[in-house]
């Protein structure tokens, strides 16, 4: 067994990370500043809207895209959150989730399309996604802190790593699942690459892609709690503090708020996925 | 000049076809090629040409290469060897831009499972081809209404495909193909997924549309009855090759190989065969100026109880019976005029046997086959009609002019 000496993967990793930090530290700082301002402005916006108005807006959204029951649930749930004094924390969490999911879609959707269209890209992307999905979150939380310091930014980065894979995978799958005959239809009428994509493939892949985005939202929400350990505030921060102080009741309230947010977002995005006919 | 000319076309599935192509020209079988090269022969050495306005049917069982062949013509499949010349241009060699232009303007495809986009209304489905050409919304919606009216679905523009029955969906598919006004229609078993009754309606409708529009159509089917009904010419494929090519009746009456013979065995001959293919030469006719004695003499010689009467140019005038001729001959009359039966059953040369049977059942005398100028072309006697139905290999009086592919 001992044919070769122990491989110092741990040292290599440390050296690599140090090198990246020295070499690209300023670039990371710029990225960090950008992400931070994005999340903070989102947060400010959500906190600027009066709670009553926001609750109404979310209820209307649920009604339009899902159904009356979901609308009713969102009114009761959101009021409950307001009532127990978790409104600000919830808005912080919501800002992080919305920001992360937007970035996941912005990056994940084109990568998914690339992966579906080019077999070579698929062969490179697929193992990276396996890596992202199976590597324990705690392992990359620390390097995220070294690059982006404590706070909301490393939390968003960790969330991207954790929640982006389903967007890429299901976009890839959705496009590959478009029936052969419809692909032939597009080609036989002389469609260009982008006509194929926007008129045939993406519309037909929409339910599958929406399932990916739905997964992405759920994973983002669960990551929010974990990333409280590296200084992200919001509902995760409330849970984390309650754990440290053994305040079981407060922890439960914060946990309940996360469940409410998760259910509302899930029902709304699921209804996006249903095809219009 | 022919619209589409396919020459020595071969298509091999799987990369590097050189070895497999070589084996084809050395005469190896598809199985041998597959075992040695791990490649599958789609079609091999196929040649044919289609004229403008013709419906060319490619028929064969599944796996015979007919769909592969069709997809070579709009290059959804890239041929491995050979050429496909459409209006003087070799489709197998054009660059992507030219190919796109040809696909947009010259040809359109109709699919077996309709291939309608479920997220678009009927209007936007039919408009698809115009949309990729960049035609304005107003213009394409005008055109959409025209073609949807032609297939009788103008009331359905705002519905989605899921609201329509299979037959209606395929009408939309046909309308979509017609919307770009292409010269060539490629139809891949378009009625294969429909119920038999709907299928017959659709066949009739296609024939009607074709009468108006005169497109060049390549039509794939595995249904021989359909091929015989629709096709101006038929090519029968097996294992990637054309085993016989010709007009419907050639294939039916003179199958080139055992395979074709087995294929045509179960066809409904009464619909596929026409009067001209089973009629016999009128063995003898008399002219009105011939007297009853001449007529009787001729009847006696051929052992018949009656004769057709025509004028010198061959126009049918009627029929005389031996009994009548004997009677007036005894009275010394010298003209046949008074005993010619004017009301003779007659049919056109392209009448199907199914319709002839009805005529023949209600008459004692033979049925005359006359063209549009009423010239006597042949005679239908019960024996020849029954022989035709039974599928005996005999040509009509025109002789058979079967073309057999090498």
Write the pLDDT tens digit of every residue in B273-298: 888 888 888 777 888 778 888 888 88
The CATH number for B315's domain is 3.10.580.10
Q: Is A26 a residue whose pLDDT tops 90?
A: no
Q: Average pLDDT of chain A?
A: 90
pLDDT digits (tens, 9 = 90+) for A104-130: 999 999 999 999 999 999 999 999 999
Q: Is B399 a residue whose pLDDT tops 50?
A: no
Q: Is A37 a residue whose pLDDT tops 50?
A: yes
- Domain region containing B344: 276-390
Q: Distance from B233 to chain A by nearest Cα, in Å? A: 24
CB atoms within 10 A of CB A26: 8
Distance, in Å, from the CA atom of B171 to the CA atom of B184, rounded to the nearest integer, reads 17
The size of chain B, in residues, is 406
Domain assignments of chain A as residue spans, ordered by start:
26-273
Q: Which phi-psi region, left, alpha or beta, contains residue B87 (left: φ > 0; alpha: ψ -120 to 50)?
A: left
pLDDT digits (tens, 9 = 90+) for B84-108: 999 989 998 999 999 999 999 999 9
Beta carbons of B41 and B29 less than 8 angstroms apart: no
Residues 190-209 of A with CB under 8 A from B: 190-192, 195, 199-200, 203-204, 206
Match 């399309």 to its residue by tokens.
A113
Query: Lowest-confidence range among A194-198, B96-100, B358-362?
Result: B358-362
The CATH number for B77's domain is 3.40.50.300
Which pLDDT belongs to residue B396?
39
DSSP B162: G
Distance, in Å, from the CA atom of A220 to the CA atom of B312, rounded to the nearest integer, reads 97
Q: Is B172 within a domain?
A: no
* Sign of the four-CA dihedral B238, B242, B243, B244: positive
Q: Is B67 within a domain?
A: yes
Q: Which fold has domain A26-273?
A: MetI-like fold (1.10.3720)
Q: Are residues B363 and B301 part of one domain?
A: yes
Burial of residue B286, with CB atoms counted within 10 A of its CB: 0-12 exposed, 13-18 middle, 19 or more buried: buried
| Greater model confidence, B404 or B376 | B376
Q: Is B144 within a domain?
A: no
Interface test with A, best of B15, B72, B117, B140 (most A CBs within 10 A): B117
Question: Which of B132, B214, B210, B122 has the alpha carbon at shortest distance from B170?
Answer: B122
Q: Distance from A272 to chain B by nearest Cα, in Å? A: 14
Beta carbons of A224 and A232 less than 8 angstroms apart: yes
pLDDT > 90: percent of chain A: 58
Q: Distance from A276 to chain B by nearest Cα, in Å? A: 7
Q: Is B142 a residue whose pLDDT tops 70?
A: yes
Beta carbons of B80 and B12 less than 8 angstroms apart: yes
Asked if the Cβ–Cβ distance from B129 to A277 is below 8 Å, we say no
Q: Are residues B290 and B376 part of one domain?
A: yes
Which pLDDT belongs to residue A127?
95
Interface membership of B85 toward A (CB under 8 Å):
no
Residues 33-62 of B with CB under 8 A from A: none
The sheet with strand B184-188 has its strands ordered as B107-110, B184-188, B216-221, B55-59, B233-238, B241-246
Which pLDDT belongs to residue B190?
94
Give the pLDDT band (50/70/90) at residue B403.
very low
3-state helix, strand, coil in chain B (%, to 5): 40, 25, 35
Nearest CB to A190 within list B100, B112, B118? B100
pLDDT digits (tens, 9 = 90+) for B161-181: 999 999 999 999 999 999 999
Last residue in a domain, options B213, B243, B267: B267
Which pLDDT belongs to residue B84?
94
Give the pLDDT band (50/70/90) at residue B381.
confident
Nearest CB to B119 within list A179, A185, A203? A203
Q: Which residues contact B91 (CB under 8 A, 6 or more apart)?
A: B73, B74, B75, B84, B85, B99, B102
CA distances from B336 to A140, A202, B49, B100, B344 (A): 113, 82, 53, 71, 16
Which pLDDT belongs to residue A259?
92
Query: Lowest-confidence range among A57-61, A62-66, B13-17, B189-193?
Result: B13-17
Last residue in a domain, options B267, B296, B316: B267
DSSP B398: T
3-state helix, strand, coil in chain A (%, to 5): 85, 0, 15
Give the pLDDT band (50/70/90) at residue B392.
low
For range A145-149, the mean pLDDT: 80
Which pLDDT belongs to residue A94?
92
Q: Average pLDDT of chain B?
A: 86
Asked if the Cβ–Cβ distance from B131 to A199 is below 8 Å, we say yes
Q: Which phi-psi region, left, alpha or beta, contains residue B79 (left: φ > 0; alpha: ψ -120 to 50)?
A: beta
CA distances from A237 to A86, A254, B33, B214 (A): 11, 9, 68, 74
Q: Are residues B292 and B379 part of one domain?
A: yes
Residues of chain B positioned with their CB less than 8 A from the CB of A275: 118-119
Residues of chain A positioned with their CB less than 8 A from the CB of B119: 203-204, 206, 275-277
In terms of average pLDDT, the best of A94-108, A148-162, B255-269 is A94-108
Q: Are residues B259 and B191 part of one domain?
A: yes
Q: Is B402 a residue whose pLDDT tops 60?
A: no
Residues of chain A positioned with their CB less than 8 A from the CB of B108: 188-189
Which pLDDT belongs to residue B58?
95
Residues of chain B positioned with their CB less than 8 A from the CB of A276: 119
Q: Is A225 a residue whose pLDDT tops 90?
A: no
Q: Is B2 a residue whose pLDDT tops 50?
A: yes
pLDDT digits (tens, 9 = 90+) for B22-76: 888 888 888 888 888 888 888 989 999 999 999 999 998 888 899 999 999 999 9
CB atoms within 10 A of CB B368: 23
Nearest-Cα residue of chain A relative to residue B173: A185
| Greater model confidence, B185 or A226 | B185
Asked if the Cβ–Cβ distance from B103 to A182 is below 8 Å, we say no
State both tokens at B39: 């490649």
Q: Distance from A126 to chain B by nearest Cα, in Å? A: 25
Under 8 Å CB pairs connecting chains A and B tally to 68
Which pLDDT belongs to residue B146?
92
* Sign of the four-CA dihedral A90, A91, A96, A100: positive
Beta carbons of B287 and B311 less than 8 angstroms apart: yes
| Greater model confidence, A200 or B350 | A200
Residues of chain B positioned with their CB less than 8 A from the CB of A192: 100, 132
The sheet with strand B2-13 has its strands ordered as B40-51, B2-13, B81-86, B89-90
Question: Which of B193, B253, B183, B261 has the alpha carbon at shortest distance from B221?
Answer: B193
Q: Is A277 a residue whose pLDDT tops 50?
A: no
Q: Which residues contact B381 (CB under 8 A, 6 or more apart)?
A: B280, B366
Which pLDDT belongs to residue A81?
93
Q: Is B148 within a domain?
A: no
Which pLDDT belongs to residue A276?
47
Give the pLDDT band (50/70/90) at residue A14.
confident
Q: Which residues contact A38 (CB under 8 A, 6 or more apart)?
A: A99
Which pLDDT belongs to residue A74?
93
**Between vectors from CA B399 to CA B393 and to CA B403, what angle results, nearest 5°?**
80
Q: Distance from B50 to chain A by nearest Cα, in Å? A: 20
Which pLDDT belongs to residue B400?
38
Q: Is B271 a residue whose pLDDT tops 80?
A: no
State both tokens at B281: 């030469």
Asked if the Cβ–Cβ distance from A199 to B132 is below 8 Å, we say yes
CA B95 to chain centre: 34
Q: Distance from B73 to chain A by nearest Cα, in Å? A: 10
Give the pLDDT band (50/70/90) at residue A257.
very high
- How many domains does chain B fold into? 2
Nearest-Cα residue of chain B relative to residue A203: B119
Q: Are residues B378 and B232 part of one domain?
A: no
B233 bridge partner residues: B56
Distance, in Å, from the CA atom of B225 to the CA atom of B234, rounded to the nearest integer, reads 11
In angstroms, how far is the first alpha carbon of chain B from the final one? Answer: 22
Nearest-Cα residue of chain B relative to residue A191: B132
Q: Is B327 within a domain?
A: yes
Last residue in a domain, options B214, B248, B267: B267
Asked if the Cβ–Cβ distance from A277 to B160 is below 8 Å, we say yes
Q: Are residues B379 and B280 part of one domain?
A: yes
Interface membership of B159 toward A (CB under 8 Å):
no
Which pLDDT belongs to residue B1?
64
Beta carbons of A189 and B104 less than 8 angstroms apart: yes
State both tokens at A201: 């493939």
Q: Distance from A114 to chain B by nearest Cα, in Å? A: 21
Q: Is B267 a residue whose pLDDT tops 80?
A: no
Which pLDDT belongs to residue B397?
40
Residues of chain B positioned with their CB less than 8 A from the CB of A203: 117, 119
Interface membership of B239 toward A (CB under 8 Å):
no
Q: Are residues B294 and B326 part of one domain?
A: yes
Q: Is B125 within a domain?
A: no
CB atoms within 10 A of CB B31: 10
State both tokens at A65: 């895209």
Question: Which of A222, A218, A246 has the alpha carbon at shortest distance from A232?
Answer: A222
Q: Are residues B213 and B357 part of one domain?
A: no
- The whole-model pTM stands at 0.77
Q: Are residues B281 and B194 part of one domain?
A: no
φ, ψ of residue B220 in degrees (nearest 5): -100, 135
Q: Are residues B85 and B215 part of one domain?
A: yes
Q: Are residues B322 and B243 part of one domain?
A: no
Distance, in Å, from the CA atom of B166 to the CA atom of B168, rounded to the nearest integer, reads 5
Q: Is B168 within a domain?
A: no
Q: Is B141 within a domain?
A: no
For range A35-53, the mean pLDDT: 91
Nearest CB to B76 within list A182, A184, A200? A184
């Amino acid at each position: 067994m001992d044919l070769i000496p122990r491989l110092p993967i741990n040292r290599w990793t440390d050296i690599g990370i140090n090198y990246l930090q020295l070499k690209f530290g300023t670039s990371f700082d710029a990225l960090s500043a950008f992400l931070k301002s994005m999340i903070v402005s989102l947060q400010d916006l959500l906190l600027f809207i009066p709670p009553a108005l926001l609750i109404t807006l979310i209820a209307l959204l649920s009604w339009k895209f899902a159904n009356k029951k979901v609308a009713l649930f969102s009114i009761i749930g959101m009021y409950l959150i307001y009532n127990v004094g978790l409104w600000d924390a919830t808005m912080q969490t919501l800002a992080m989730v919305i920001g992360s999911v937007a970035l996941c879609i912005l990056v994940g959707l084109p990568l998914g399309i690339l992966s579906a269209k080019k077999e070579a890209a698929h062969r490179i992307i697929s193992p990276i996604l396996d890596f992202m999905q199976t590597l324990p979150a705690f392992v990359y939380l620390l390097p995220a802190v070294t690059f982006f310091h404590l706070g909301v930014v490393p939390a968003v980065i960790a969330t991207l790593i954790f929640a982006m894979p389903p967007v890429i995978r299901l976009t890839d799958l959705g496009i590959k699942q478009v029936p052969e005959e419809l692909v032939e239809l597009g080609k036989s009428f002389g469609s260009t690459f982008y006509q194929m994509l926007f008129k045939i493939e993406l519309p037909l892949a929409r339910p599958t892609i929406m399932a990916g985005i739905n997964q992405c939202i759920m994973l983002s929400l669960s990551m929010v709690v974990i990333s409280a350990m590296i200084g992200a505030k919001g509902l995760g921060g409330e849970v984390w503090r309650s754990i440290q102080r053994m305040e079981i009741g407060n922890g439960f309230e914060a946990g309940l708020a996360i469940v409410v947010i998760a259910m509302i977002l899930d029902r709304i995005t699921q209804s996006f996925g249903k095809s219009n006919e | 000049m022919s619209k589409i000319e396919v020459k020595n076309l071969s298509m091999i599935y799987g990369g590097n076809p050189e070895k497999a192509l070589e084996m084809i020209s050395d005469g190896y079988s598809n199985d041998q090629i597959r075992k040695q090269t791990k490649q599958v022969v789609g079609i091999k050495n196929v040649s044919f040409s289609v004229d403008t306005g013709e419906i060319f049917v490619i028929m064969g069982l599944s796996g015979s290469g007919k769909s592969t062949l069709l997809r070579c013509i709009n290059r959804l499949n890239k041929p491995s060897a050979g050429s496909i010349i459409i209006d003087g241009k070799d489709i197998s060699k054009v660059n992507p831009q030219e190919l796109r232009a040809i696909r947009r303007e010259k040809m359109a495809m109709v699919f077996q499972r309709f291939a309608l986009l479920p997220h678009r209304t009927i209007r936007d489905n039919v408009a698809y081809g115009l949309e990729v050409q960049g035609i304005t919304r107003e213009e394409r919606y005008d055109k959409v209404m025209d073609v949807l009216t032609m297939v009788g679905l103008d009331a359905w523009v705002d519905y989605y495909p899921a609201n329509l029955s299979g037959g209606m969906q395929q009408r939309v598919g046909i309308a979509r193909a017609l919307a770009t006004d292409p010269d060539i229609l490629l139809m891949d078993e378009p009625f294969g997924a429909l119920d038999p009754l709907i299928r017959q309606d659709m066949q009739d409708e296609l024939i009607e549309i074709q009468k108006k529009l005169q497109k060049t159509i390549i039509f794939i089917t595995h249904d021989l009855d359909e091929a015989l009904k629709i096709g101006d010419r038929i090519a029968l494929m097996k294992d990637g090759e054309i085993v016989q090519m010709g007009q419907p009746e050639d294939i039916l009456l003179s199958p080139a190989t055992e395979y074709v013979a087995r294929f045509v065995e179960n066809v409904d001959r009464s619909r596929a065969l026409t009067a001209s293919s089973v009629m016999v030469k009128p063995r003898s006719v008399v002219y009105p100026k011939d007297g009853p004695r001449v007529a009787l003499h001729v009847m006696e010689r051929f052992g018949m109880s009656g004769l057709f009467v025509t004028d010198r140019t061959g126009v049918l005038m009627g029929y005389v019976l031996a009994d009548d001729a004997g009677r007036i001959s005894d009275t010394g009359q010298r003209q046949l005029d008074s005993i010619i039966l004017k009301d003779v059953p007659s049919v056109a040369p392209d009448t199907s046997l199914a319709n002839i049977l009805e005529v023949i059942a209600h008459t004692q005398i033979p049925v005359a086959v006359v063209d549009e100028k009423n010239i006597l072309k042949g005679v239908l006697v019960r024996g020849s009609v029954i022989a035709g139905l039974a599928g005996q290999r005999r040509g009509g009086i025109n002789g058979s002019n079967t073309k057999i592919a090498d």
